[in-house]
Amino acid sequence: MKKYLNLASALIASLKPKSQSPAIDSYGQSTLTDEQQQALMEWLFASLMGVGYFGKAHLIWDNGQDREQEIFTALMRNEPIFLYRQGARPTPSVEGYGWRLLGEHPSLRVYELVAEVERE
């Protein structure tokens, strides 16, 4: 039942107009200092702008909590979603998708959600 509610919520969100200005929504609590968070956000903004993306993106501070609704919403709106791993491993994503490590970030804790076929 929860999966259907998440899907319905994501479907409704997909109908809303997309943001034309850069923004990053974040979910969860970070264990980083304010300075470290600032540096990560700046890096993420620069990376997105470097590939010509100027819309909304999503960042999950991974604390093991289920973030299926946020993931579905971002997927339905075709917006990039990232995860900052705070534990030993990233929390599993939704079926058919996985987390791809972004080795460009020096922490080696930043992941991007990609379709399973892209990961192979």
Would the pLDDT of 2 be above 70? no
Lowest mean pLDDT among 1-10, 64-73, 80-89: 1-10
Q: Quick check: 25 and 58 in contact, CB under 8 A?
A: yes
Segment 9-29 shows an average pLDDT of: 68
pTM value > 0.85: no
In the predicted structure, residue 17 carries a pLDDT above the cut 90: no
d(CA 108, CA 103): 6
- pLDDT 10s digits, 94-119: 889 999 999 999 999 999 999 987 55
